[in-house]
Amino acid sequence: MLNLDIQAQYSHLEETIRSYNPSADFAQIQAAAELAYRAHDGQRRKSGEPYIIHPLAVAQIVAEELKLDSESICAALLHDVIEDTPCTHEEIAKAFSPTIANLVEGVSKLTRIQYATKEDEQMENLRKMLIAMSKDIRVILIKISDRLHNMRTMEYQSPSKQKQKSLETMEIYAPISHRLGMQRIKWELEDLSLKYLDPVAYDEIVSRLDAKRPEYEAFMARTRAQVDARLKDMNIHHTIYGRMKHPYSIYRKMFSQNKNMDEIFDLFAFRVIVDNVGDCYNVLGVIHDIYTPIPGRFKDYIGTPKPNGYQSLHTTVMGTDGIPFEVQIRTQEMHDIAEYGVAAHWKYKQNGQGSGTEGKYEWVRRLLENQEGADAEEYIHSLKIDMFADEVFVFTPNGDVQNLPAGATPIDFAYAIHSAVGNRMVGAKVNGRIVTFDRQLKNGDIVEILTSKNAKGPSRDWMKIAKSNEARSKIRQWFKKEKKEENIANGRSSFESELKHCGISMKTVLDPENLPILLKKVNCATLEEMYAAIGYGGFSAQKAVSRMHGELQRIEKQHQQEKQVDVPVEGKPDVMRPAVPKRSKSEQGIIVEGLDNCLVKFSKCCTPVPGDDIIGFITRGYGVSVHRCDCPNASEEKRHMPGQEGRWIKVTWGKDTNESYPTVLEAVCKDRMNLILDISAALASTNTSVCGLNSRSTEDEFAIIRLEIRVRDDQHLKALMNKLHQISGVLKITRPSG
């Protein structure tokens, strides 16, 4: 049995389930809770509380927020047992059911496999989750509930973990919640993520909202009373309530439109819930009669629902106080689906429990299609675009609706219809007129694709024009299948050119000792396979050479460390004596030749990190100061100055380096909006701690940004510099010295 401290939490869970599903299998739910309690016995969360509190809280979210069935509640209670305890899939299947075991397995991360990069690991976890989700959508509902509780208790994690998890939530889980129509949960995930990604802005927004709450609530009460009185006069049965925008929504508006809080007026939205669709349009007429509608701000999602099932009428009007606000009009069923998304379908299903809604989630399968052609980074990047992208709704000549990512072109439309249509496309018409392939489609466009049996197939340029991952994947597959020899030739040429550019000889790559390790690094079995992948666009030559270059450097370092230097004894050339072994003891990760227990400090002029070539300088009274070899203060000239020669000393990095080292980067950028936001995202995505950030603008519209950061080693630093170089407007990144 559960202990008494946790019994109250379980009883509350049971009451919640009973309120919406009195026929739930409570014996099975209790058995799941008891198994979770036994399996997690002795484990504790970062907060110090027993671990079982977390599964119970996740089950509470699944019940209270999403109102799911008995199987989902059991799976939520057991969601960590496969990952964190000796309990297996087979044991859960035997004790409960194969369905519950599959749900738990789908929510578990891939914990027993080592991946070369964080991107690879993240991709495989996402891929596994999406595959499980396409079979049973409840997998992702439980996973989102798990993430929501983790975000609610994120204050107990380290700052770096808070940023890492918040960024992942913002990039993956909030967009998936949006695609599933779960707006309430999406908003909470976004707000909690913002709290850790930009705490200063979050606190400012929340405090300003709190300060103006009485004023805002008075405005909402007046508006609500006006609408309520008019609808009562017309005998329209209704419920009306207002809300303010949530903090992340305000934050995004402040950044995208470069406004401060006082300049954002449309902070308010009102919802009117009515009995039927006819009343929705009647209420719209009333709203437009009382207030002045703002042109171009009316959307009819009842006539054209969003792909996630969302239906509502949206209009923005100018209030009598001169303050604009949005009104959303919908039925109760539409409201439930808008708030809880896919989870609300359980409430409206005729046959009780089970999933049975797989047909609604074709977009999940599209995300999974043709992935073998993309590497981890490309896949994750595409997934984020497909998840985040606003959508455009366009029509076929027959009147069927196709939804595509914002900015989509006729190429995306053609491949969304069928890969054969895309491969045979020779032209496109939009609204009856011939258009170019790179024409961006708009809402309501009628698109017709012109095809020919004699078409030569897609062009490689289409990869740059296509916006959707689906279209790019299908174009890649065509080149992979139809142009193998050409791909290998093009891939070899690109690869050899990039090797030459990086100063690496082909002989080094083909070395039998190196080749298998290098091929493993790019996930290819043979060089020909790698050439083909580069040729059809599944992998770039730059990325392949970059990974190989890093591995070759590692191999070279390893060889140098393994070499046992033999020193001849004077006068006896055949007699060798072993060199003095390197000291293993270090101070702050630094081994000083010939000295033990020596005070070591890192020079502030060049801020060295593990992996840099370094040299030491014996200071007067402050130990050994460590410089980078390329620091002007440690130049050859300085080392041979009178009285200085004996003070320069050999130092090396030991194996027991610190967790992080301070260093400085300076970025020269073209000044633009959101530049600091993009740089912050790069710092967060590489798990880089920031000690200070200073920015100044020049008269010729450039920005000089100085970043004081902490990194693990030179590889961590290079990864960050690469990320920063990819940001639009960043022209040069340097490490100051001297």
Hey, which residues does 393 pair with through a beta bridge? Answer: 403
Tell me if 20 sits within 8 A of 67, measured CB to CB: yes
Residue type, position 365, single letter: R
**Using CA atoms, how far apart are residues 661 and 606, in angstroms rounded to an integer?**
12
* Cα separations in angstroms, 188 against 166, 182, 213: 12, 10, 19
Nearest-5° Cα angle at 81, 76 to 84: 125
Q: What span, in angstroms and rounded, lies between the C-alpha atoms of 519 and 426?
A: 38
Single-letter amino acid code for the residue at 596: D
Q: What is the DSSP string of 410-461?
A: HHHHHHHH-HHHHHTEEEEEETTEEE-TTPPP-TT-BEEEEE-TT-----TT
321 included as an active-site residue: no
C-alpha–C-alpha distance, residues 10 and 37, integer Å: 11
CA dihedral 145, 146, 151, 154 (to 10 degrees): 150
> Considering 34, 83, 124, 529, which one is annotated as catalytic?
83
- For 116, other C-beta atoms within 10 Å of its C-beta total 14
Residue whose token pair is 């390790």: 517
Whether 83 is a known active-site residue: answer: yes
Give me 393's structure tokens. 């709704």
Whether the Cβ atoms of residue 396 and residue 417 lie closer than 8 Å to each other: yes
Return the amino acid letter for 441. L
* Cβ contact 280:234 at 8 Å: no
Q: Which of 49, 84, 448, 482 is catalytic?
A: 84
Amino acid at 638: K
Q: Which of 484, 486, 391 is nearest to 445 (CA)?
A: 391
SS3 577: strand
Neighbour count for residue 232 (Cβ, 10 Å): 11
Q: Could you identify the residue written with the tokens 């940023």?
A: 163
Considering only CA atoms, which of 465, 488, 469, 498 is closest in space to residue 534? 488
Residue 676's region, left for phi above 0, alpha for psi from -120 to 50, else beta, is: alpha
Tell me the CB-side half-sphere exposure of residue 690, using CA atoms within 13 A: 20
- Ordered DSSP codes for 18-66: HHH-TTS-HHHHHHHHHHHHHHTTT-B-TTSSBTTHHHHHHHHHHHHTT
> Which amino acids are annotated catalytic?
83-84
